[in-house]
Amino acid sequence: MYLKSICVVYLLVLTIKEIWKHGTLIESSKEFWIHKEINLEDLEKLPGRVRATWLKVCVHRAKPMKMSNYETNMTYHFTSKKILLVVTGSTDGIGRAYAKELAKRGMNVVLISRTYEKLEKVATEIEKEYGVKTKIIAIDFSRQNSTFEHIERELQNIPIGILVNNVGMNYPYPMYVTEVQPQFLQEMINVNIGATILMTRMILPQMQKRQKGAIVNVSSGSELQPLPLMTVYAATKIFIKSFTEALRFENQKYGITIQQLSPLFVSTKMNAFSHRLQKISLLVPDAEMYASSAINTLGVVNYSTGYWAHGIQYFFISIPPVWLRTITGGIMNQVFRKDYFSAEKKVSRSDENKTQKAFI
């Protein structure tokens, strides 16, 4: 009985710890209320925990703030503000929402994605809504011949405060490896791995020189175990985890923030293969809810799911052994695969009915 009680208490403590680590809690401690009127210039003089608390509350309330850790302290041609954000994969989903959230806090934004028309639309929205400046670069990361040379030319002499490596691609629905075209697999590797490595390699030297900046690598909860029917996708996300952790060690002497975000299911186009993942709920937030929460963790923790409910899920998913998680993941993806084919059949029947009516 005593052992059972101790285990329950232990799990409760760990859960609270994980919520703090992965989620977005607003702490109203005495230290915070003493410093709540603090001058932004003096933020870095506060003790670490007080500074973290202040940062969380300030960002949560969506007040413009000076993120001095990421300042460039330089001037450049297309913007008058000091902090510049670069987001890859910024026309949809988490990337778009993340760019908007930081633009809301006064950052000028470089948007990098594949479709020029979509980039123009998002850039116009950001400039109109938040009064910041934008720059767009239309690039297909799946083709790596001259892609990064072009980006480097476009960003020449522009100091970057924050780089968000968000661009990614997934299977259209859960598939066996032999069902996926070789070209698609190569493109996925280029986008999910190559883009993160080469964008980091491009931007990191200037951050090292200034000894300021932040790199956010967006991974996925699929890193927790091998994931059957999304085998290659999950493997690329495990790579991002390893890459980010090693990169953080290499750059700790420069004072650069290297953060990894590992969201679980978010209601975006990437997860459109199942109706279950398109319904916004406590466990499946939309991109805006997720980005608003994830930004609160930047500068506070190096690793996070970015969303409090995902933090709890991540903790409990991590408890079983890897072999059991792998089996569970495979079964889950088989369900999503059935969802996809069921939806396709409904669409096919609907099209057939429309055709028949047209002939009548």
Active site includes 307?
no
Distance (Å, whole) CA 285 – CA 307: 9
Q: Phi, psi (5° rounding) for residue 285?
A: -75, 165
Distance (Å, whole) CA 195 – CA 197: 6
> Is residue 174 a contact partner of residue 333, using CB atoms and an 8 Å limit?
yes
Spatial neighbors of 251 by CB under 8 A, at least 6 apart, are: 204, 208, 258
> Is residue 256 a contact partner of residue 200, using CB atoms and an 8 Å limit?
no
> Is residue 21 a contact partner of residue 13, using CB atoms and an 8 Å limit?
no
Beta bridge partners of 86: 110, 163
Q: 3-state SS of 178-247?
A: HHCCHHHHHHHHHHHHHHHHHHHHHHHHHHHHHCCCEEEEECCHHHHCCCCCCHHHHHHHHHHHHHHHHH
> Is residue 66 a contact partner of residue 58, using CB atoms and an 8 Å limit?
no
> Is residue 53 a contact partner of residue 28, using CB atoms and an 8 Å limit?
no
Q: Which of 70, 130, 171, 233 is catalytic?
A: 233
Q: Which tokens go with 197?
A: 């490595």
Pairing of strands 134-138, 257-261: unpaired
Q: How many Cβ atoms sit within 10 Å of the Cβ of residue 131? A: 9
Distance (Å, whole) CA 59 – CA 78: 26
Give the residue numbers marked as catalytic.
233
